[in-house]
Amino acid sequence: MMAKVKVRIPAPLQKVTQNKQEVVAEAGNIKELIADLDKQFSGMKDRLLDESGKIRRFINFYVNDEDIRFLKQDETALSEGDEVSIIPAIAGGK
Binding footprint of other proteins on the chain (CB under 8 A):
10-16, 21, 47, 56-60, 62, 65-67, 69-70, 85, 87-94
Judge whether 56 and 48 are in contact, CB under 8 Å. Answer: yes
The dihedrals phi and psi of 53, each to the nearest 5 degrees, come to 85, 5
Q: What is the DSSP string of 67-90?
A: EGGGTTGGG-B--TT-EEEEEE--
Whole-number minimum distance, CB 49 to other proteins, in Å? 11
Whole-number minimum distance, CB 71 to other proteins, in Å? 10
Whole-number minimum distance, CB 60 to other proteins, in Å? 7
In the bound state with other proteins, the residue whose beta carbon lies nearer, of 4 and 54, is: 54
